[in-house]
């Protein structure tokens, strides 16, 4: 089969190659999926570059990627099932995230086939195409598990999403709205029309306004991209509000090559017992349960995928990653296989 392969860490253009590799064989509890589409996002960039360095100790591989094929998401059809696998049959249309521990690892989805634990998959709702389905798993899971598990979003909450036009942000806006929250979306001017269309009651152009100086307070600040210190963000939080930091480190441009966004999160965790607005360790719903919830909401039309206008072929994986890092993408960047 054809696959994007890397044998070392480094910039995508230097380490990624399209190669012929053996087709994987599904093991116990696994199915073999013919990948029709996958997505690229910030965590794929991190896993390919091996940055921050701490991710290599978190399962990625110390000297080289443990799994030489990048990618965490897929949409495709089951072609065969392994021993003990019973949820799906050949021909089933499925989507899923294939890195069950963390997204900072290669999962093998930038390939024509992938062997996947059937527990990590859900059926694709009727009416959803391959590209749309591939835009769902990782980003929607991050948004849901943090909004509901960490933020505890409820009907009537005032929610601000900073970085709302990216792959996680478009889900955060829709999910918060579906839970009955009033949503303010912050991003660049070229994405504000999309955010209003997704249901944001208010939009803020970050090039013209600083959301921490608007004189408004929110029950949840869902911060995907900000590098602002908490002392500034706090100005926009209700005294009983919650700061949810996703920790995007701008593709290494923050300069934290060792710990990455953990360098910001760990000090916040240290003061969490003393600052009400900073949540401590929160129990989030299991990923399988959260993905099932997302699929149900997709099926009902409560939320919808947002796929960037540009899609890429498997051989164009480097260009796809470059498009993600440019910051110009609206929603998810998808690679068709």
How does pLDDT run across 35-51, given as a tens digit for each residue?
999 999 988 998 999 98
Cα distances from 24 to residues 3, 35, 260, in angstroms, run 11, 12, 33
8 A C-beta contact, residue 25 and residue 115: yes
User: For 200-240, what is each residue's pLDDT tens digit?
Assistant: 999 999 999 999 999 999 999 999 987 788 999 999 999 99
Per residue in 257-289, pLDDT (tens digit) is 665 555 566 666 666 566 788 886 666 778 899
Q: What pLDDT does 229 receive?
A: 87
Instruction: Report the C-alpha gap between 120 and 104 in whole angstroms.
Output: 17
Per-residue pLDDT at 103: 65
What residues contact residue 8 under an 8 Å CB cut-off, 6+ apart? Answer: 15, 64, 65
For the stretch 6-36, pLDDT in tens is 999 999 999 999 999 999 999 999 999 999 9
Q: What domains lie within the chain, and their CATH numbers?
A: 2-136+305-336 (3.90.180.10), 138-274 (3.40.50.720)
Find all residues with CB under 8 Å of 43, minimum gap 6, and list them: 72, 103, 104, 138
Residue 327 is encoded by which pair of tokens? 């910051």
- In the chain, % of residues over pLDDT 70: 90
pLDDT digits (tens, 9 = 90+) for 281-314: 666 778 899 999 999 999 999 999 999 999 999 9
């Amino acid at each position: 089969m054809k696959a994007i392969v890397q044998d070392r860490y480094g910039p995508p253009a230097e380490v990624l190659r399209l190669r012929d590799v053996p087709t994987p064989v599904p093991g116990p509890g696994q199915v073999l999926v013919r990948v029709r589409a996958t997505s690229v996002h910030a965590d794929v960039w991190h896993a390919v570059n091996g940055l921050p360095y701490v991710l290599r100790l978190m399962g990625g591989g110390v000297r080289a990627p443990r799994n030489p094929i990048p990618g965490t998401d897929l949409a495709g059809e089951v072609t065969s099932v392994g021993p003990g696998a019973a949820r799906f049959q050949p021909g089933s249309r499925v989507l899923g995230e294939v890195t069950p521990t963390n997204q900072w690892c290669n999962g093998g989805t930038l390939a024509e086939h992938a062997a996947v634990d059937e527990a990590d998959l859900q059926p694709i709702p009727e009416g959803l195409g391959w590209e749309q389905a591939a835009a769902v798993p990782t980003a929607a899971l991050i948004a849901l598990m943090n909004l509901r598990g960490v933020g505890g979003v409820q009907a009537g909450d005032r929610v601000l999403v900073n970085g709302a036009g990216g792959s996680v942000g478009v889900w955060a806006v829709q999910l918060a709205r579906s839970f009955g929250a009033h949503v303010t979306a912050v991003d660049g001017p070229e994405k504000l029309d999309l955010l209003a269309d997704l249901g944001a009651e208010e939009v803020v152009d970050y090039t013209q306004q600083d959301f921490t100086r608007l004189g408004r307070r929110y029950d949840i600040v869902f911060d995907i991209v900000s590098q602002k210190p908490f002392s500034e963000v706090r100005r926009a939080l209700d005294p009983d509000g919650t700061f949810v930091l996703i920790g995007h480190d701008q593709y290494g441009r923050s300069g934290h090559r060792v710990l990455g966004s953990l360098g910001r999160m760990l000090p916040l965790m240290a003061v969490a017992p003393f600052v009400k607005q900073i949540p401590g360790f929160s129990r989030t719903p299991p990923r399988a349960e959260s993905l099932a919830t997302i699929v149900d909401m997709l099926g009902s039309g409560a939320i919808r995928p947002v796929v960037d206008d540009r899609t890429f072929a498997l051989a164009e994986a480097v260009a796809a990653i470059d498009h993600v890092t440019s910051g110009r993408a609206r929603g998810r960047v998808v690679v068709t296989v």
